[in-house]
Structure 1
């Protein structure tokens, strides 16, 4: 690394450490005082596990959830017809088996028998139909409805057999059925209002819902009637929202938490020295970025958007924000996503950024505002953007918001022209592990908020057509070609500043086994247990 680059990185580290102090603890100093070199005493199975998470949950309705943290809690309660194993292979869950016709327009599921929902309702083909009818209803306005917009009808063939017919071929539809959004909800619960359902879940999973006190805890307890013998292995799990990364680490050090996700990258070395605590890492499907509202000046101009890309040093971002536990994004989807196509990166070039801004009519830069979450790591990200953009004359106002407020500000706007959003600090994991869900919700012109997650309000007719073609064929080779072309166009038009694919980092007490994270960023809680020596 050149000396000038090294000095830049070191100065950024200093700036961001100072910024982090005000957000409640991103530095080693915040946690070293609570260091405990004694092995923790495992809780009993009756006491259960405490899991420290980054922020509050948004919903317990899987059909209307848009964040992986909420899906992590829901994974204890709900199950789908299909799911993913730890290697993202599709496996049957509530389905005994399934088959598709030759052109992937009909999917027939044979269901497991003798299963009941937590509220006593039977799991059968009628329950599956009720769920899929809700998910595929274009008037539902559910956040995950676009995953099932191709469903034309769901038919009950017998008590434990159901057929789903699509409007057109789609070879990756099993990936959508495996997405956590396809969790099966009790038909009794579906009779509630969406608002009531979001806080009173009833699924078929290994744990039953107990209570949710926003900002404090969410508790689930063992489903005594769970169909798999010996599961679950703990009686209770309590999730505790802890936005400050230093506080989550301190809870691991003192034994107050048994599992913590995420662990901030700059806390990894601290925890590696902690007796009785293990740090786990794995590649993710997550892409970190910030989007630019392409319907608002100055981001209507591609030159400005490209300037923003050249103005951000991605290598320094990975060093400062992730302590090296990430890789640079080279497309708008992560490498482990099906049909990924690498692009030519925007190298860090502030002089090029200034030239483009001048050509666009902003020789002195401009002022803009970014919205994002309140966690320590997210605030560190936005502080980094602010410092970097200041070097090319762009003044960035950082506005952190709690999840509910942020959601209302973005997804509470029906008319794109009324959107106040300028920049959004985002991250996306296609939990189907396929390019369709990695791109369509974010770049289709049919995906503007509140319908989906195109916070760039990006619209390109060619991209729309390519995404639709990828959605409408069962030929995997053709799908790959369509998605490759779409990635190239989007990359060139730069509605985002793509930044990094972070590693998944989580910490756990050594006595915790079976509890892990999938590459999508969703927890797998089914096999969680407490192992005493």
Structure 2
């Protein structure tokens, strides 16, 4: 066995962070390029995820490990590159209008049983997503639910058409999300079995699940003749791995030890262990992938339902101190996305000023259930928030949960939490903003039950106009409403550090690792 080669999976946290590792083993038969054409794979790459897979059904994904494995098993119509550029995946080309898009599929794309993928199957899969996924509003727009959207497939022409009742400018980015991964007919008729990963012929992605021991290990094999690779501007050279072996490793320090000893060849880190790889043959790429903010459970009976308590929490917390927890390497935020986002508010005067003395007058004795993900630096940011609130007199119980448990408790429909440090990987106002509008889980993404009518109005105006000035003006009003109500308390970004050995590479569009682009050097 040789272990000089990599792989990862940090697609971010909480909504999303996943940290992975890898090494190669076995023979490496020659293959043709990997980035285009039906590349044949060779060799094995070993990955480690920081949390277990919760489901193999793409429309039910909620944890970072789900997104990584889902991206390997189910291909989307399009992908999203740096700067928001939409790139082909299953679709070869498309024509977009404000109220819809028509895709022309690549020729020769198959399901994982080798049968042709038809346009009608794609339409059926997207219809299932539209009618069953909590994230459908993020893709199609809140005004296009129910009969407001029609999706049809023309098998003869090889085209899939999506038609909306109301204009929505975020359709293509939404269809790049892994939750829209196309499921073939065997999976569409499998019901709950699809979530177990045991449905043959359901997949459309480059890899097929061939072995599974929940909570421990997974094995995926490259599908022969797969030819729907994404077309990112910076596609790596080399061949795809023939086999991916995935294990669950929940501690970054353990992962770093394995990387240093040669047991794995790639690691993704959000904590201080990344500093161990400043030299010695490792390459480090850093990306501000995680945007952190405090969010509240605003359901009746929870302290976050009281706007005065939300304001006091904002007064107790200092975003600059939060950033120092991570070595002052991030960017203090002034909204729920970072300053690189189009139309983001950078007006710091809209933020509630830190004032611990004022916070103590409200928070003294208030009981708060703080639930956070430990996937970001083992939950160091969560601990800071706990201590800041305790200093203001609150009685804070902190649960530093693994990312899967955090996602289930906070973004699921349990509601048994009061406050969370939300580590969001979305860098766009529209995609992130869907967490503050619409229905609660499981029907929607509004996990905190936020009811901010001014934000909803601004969100609607911003996402339905094609005039850029009007769009940004609407976004400014929307963000002002959200910040004024302290529905979110912006904190700071946290960098993900991807650490590589020589020999393996992958694309990280917009700072997010795409496991389907893993390539082993010739």
Q: Which TM bucket (shorter chain)?
A: 0.7 to 0.9
* Structure-1 residue corresponding to 2:79: 83
Q: Distance in 2 between matches of 1:43 and 1:400?
A: 38
C-alpha distance 244-348 of structure 1, shift in aligned 2 (>3 A): farther
C-alpha distance 227-112 of structure 1, shift in aligned 2 (>3 A): same
Are 1:270 and 2:263 an aligned pair?
Answer: no
C-alpha distance 249-142 of structure 1, shift in aligned 2 (>3 A): same
* Structure-1 residue corresponding to 2:436: 443
Q: Secondary structure at the match of 2:480?
A: helix
Are 1:314 and 2:307 an aligned pair?
Answer: no
C-alpha distance 129-57 of structure 1, shift in aligned 2 (>3 A): same
Per-residue deviation, 1:76: 2.1
Whether contact under 8 Å (1:190, 1:197) holds in the other structure is no
Whether contact under 8 Å (1:206, 1:222) holds in the other structure is yes
Q: Secondary structure at the match of 1:372?
A: strand
Q: Distance in 2 between matches of 1:374 and 1:517?
A: 23
Gaps of 5+ in 1: 1-39
Per-residue deviation, 1:231: 7.8
* Structure-2 residue corresponding to 1:490: 482
Q: How does 1:204-215 map to 2 (within 5 A)?
A: 204-215=204-215
C-alpha distance 518-56 of structure 1, shift in aligned 2 (>3 A): farther
Give the TM-score normalised by structure 1. Answer: 0.81
Q: How does 1:285-304 map to 2 (within 5 A)?
A: 286-295=290-299, 296-304=301-309
Q: Distance in 1 between matches of 2:189 and 2:394?
A: 51
C-alpha distance 158-531 of structure 1, shift in aligned 2 (>3 A): closer
Q: Secondary structure at the match of 2:348?
A: coil
Q: How does 1:55-454 map to 2 (within 5 A)?
A: 55-101=51-97, 104-137=98-131, 140-144=132-136, 146-148=138-140, 150=144, 152-159=149-156, 160-200=158-198, 202-227=202-227, 232-261=239-268, 263-273=269-279, 275-284=280-289, 286-295=290-299, 296-320=301-325, 322-344=326-348, 352-358=355-361, 360=362, 362=363, 364-375=364-375, 377-410=377-410, 413=413, 419-430=415-426, 433-440=427-434, 442-444=435-437, 446-454=438-446
Q: Distance in 2 between matches of 1:135 and 1:347?
A: 37
C-alpha distance 390-43 of structure 1, shift in aligned 2 (>3 A): farther
C-alpha distance 520-279 of structure 1, shift in aligned 2 (>3 A): closer
Q: Distance in 1 between matches of 2:169 and 2:55?
A: 30
Whether contact under 8 Å (2:323, 2:331) holds in the other structure is yes
Per-residue deviation, 1:156: 2.6
Whether contact under 8 Å (2:184, 2:203) holds in the other structure is yes
Per-residue deviation, 1:247: 0.6
Whether contact under 8 Å (2:457, 2:478) holds in the other structure is no
Q: Report which stretch shifted further, 386-395 or 221-230.
A: 221-230
* Structure-1 residue corresponding to 2:451: 459
C-alpha distance 94-196 of structure 1, shift in aligned 2 (>3 A): closer
C-alpha distance 413-108 of structure 1, shift in aligned 2 (>3 A): closer
RMSD over aligned Cα atoms? 2.8
Per-residue deviation, 1:405: 4.2
Per-residue deviation, 1:397: 0.7
Per-residue deviation, 1:271: 1.5
